[in-house]
Amino acid sequence: MPTPPGYTPSTGEVSALNLMIDFPDAEGEGPALDRLAEFFPQTSEWFTTSSYGRLDYRPHAPVDEWLRMPKPFTAYGIERGSPYEPGYRELVEDLVEVADPVVDFAAYDLVNVLVTPNAGPSALDTVLSVTFSGNDEAPHADGVPLANTSFVYSRQDDGSGSYEETGYRVLPHENGHVFGLPDLYTAEGGGAVGHWDIMSEDWGANNDFLGWHKWKLGWLDNEQVRCASAPGTVEYLLTPLAEPGGPKLAIVPLTEDSGYAIEVRTRAGNDEAVCRPGVLIYRVASGVDTGQGPIAVADSARGSGGCTRSPNVHAELSDATYRPGQSFGDRRHGLSISVVAEEDGDAYRVRVTRS
């Protein structure tokens, strides 16, 4: 469960280097700082809220103009899913060469490459945005590898008129990777986790991380996490994930690297699309690779169609939460998870029974 070394620290002050780049065949339109302003201060605020103030995300832009790459965009051969070799290595080497005279790369914990939106396809057709994280083989500059670098392309503008408010959210998603988190969407889309984590869906209305991810990132203390490992019945009171302090997460371990997680989600903080507040139950398999479905949400109302029509929000899982009186069962593992009651406003009492 702990994040291996080589990723960006996810607590304390983190300095993000932002570089706005363009190409001879895709020249930046308008000031480069306008591109930066599409992502800040929203991205820093998003992390402050999600981390309960534990991540102090500081964006820096030491170069306030477009950095022109020496080759046309097409020369790097970048497509959706392109590996690091050879296109990205070439692009990063060129970027280092152009920026190094004025940028001290050793002064930053992560790099955001904000590409001029007119390079490459529209995000409506193909999302190119990508992060290479924990990559010690990346080109070095000022003695450090550019190991944790996010690339953001185009604009995630679905035409619904919400771009101004929600278009930045691709960046907290990409930065989630530099902090060591996997993609939760799969080849089939957002059907595994829906809108319950920004690593699953980063278009549309704002959404938070799962409690599992917050624990991994060091934003929840071990004291805020309950563990139902023994046979028998236990009850836990859980407070909303969006509010700081108090018990947040209950884990029901099944194997060394898998189990169920239980948390309370309400319409607060970063979670603006929650249409059925309640207890979210999901299966975590940390041995499953990024994009292959490491997490799956249990749907309390399968086939319901969900409770939201908010654009770009996976509707079916939007009402996945369990309410008082409802239970989730896993017979194979001899366990049941019931919601006993809602208490003190938004807190929920849950009961876990293991045979």
The answer to whether the beta carbons of residues 3 and 180 sit under 8 Å apart is yes
- Residue number with CB closer to Zn ion (116 or 129): 129
Give the dihedral of Cα atoms 133, 38, 266, 318; nearest 10 deg.
-80
- Residue number with CB closer to Zn ion (183 or 201): 183
> How many residues touch Zn ion (CB under 5 A)?
1
The two beta strands, 225-227 and 249-255, are parallel
- Residue number with CB closer to Zn ion (183 or 346): 183
For the CB of residue 7, give the shortest distance to Zn ion in the complex, in Å: 14
- The angle at the Cα of 21, spanning 72 to 178, to the nearest 5 degrees, equals 115
Residue 41: both structure tokens together: 């201060």
Looking at 18-26, 175-183, 208-216, 296-304, which segment touches Zn ion (CB under 5 A)? 175-183
For the CB of residue 245, give the shortest distance to Zn ion in the complex, in Å: 30
Chain residue at closest Cβ approach to Zn ion: 183
CA distance 253 to 259: 4
- Residue number with CB closer to Zn ion (130 or 313): 130
For the CB of residue 254, give the shortest distance to Zn ion in the complex, in Å: 26
User: Binding of Zn ion at residue 197 (CB under 5 A)?
Assistant: no
For the CB of residue 58, give the shortest distance to Zn ion in the complex, in Å: 23
Reported as half-sphere exposure (CB side, CA atoms, 13 A), residue 207 has a value of 27
User: Binding of Zn ion at residue 38 (CB under 5 A)?
Assistant: no
For the CB of residue 347, give the shortest distance to Zn ion in the complex, in Å: 32
| 201: phi then psi, degrees, rounded to nearest 5 | -135, 125
User: Binding of Zn ion at residue 183 (CB under 5 A)?
Assistant: yes
Residues 6+ apart with CB under 8 A from 66: 20, 21, 22, 27, 28, 32, 116
- Residue number with CB closer to Zn ion (172 or 259): 172
> Residues in the site for Zn ion, rule: CB under 5 A?
183
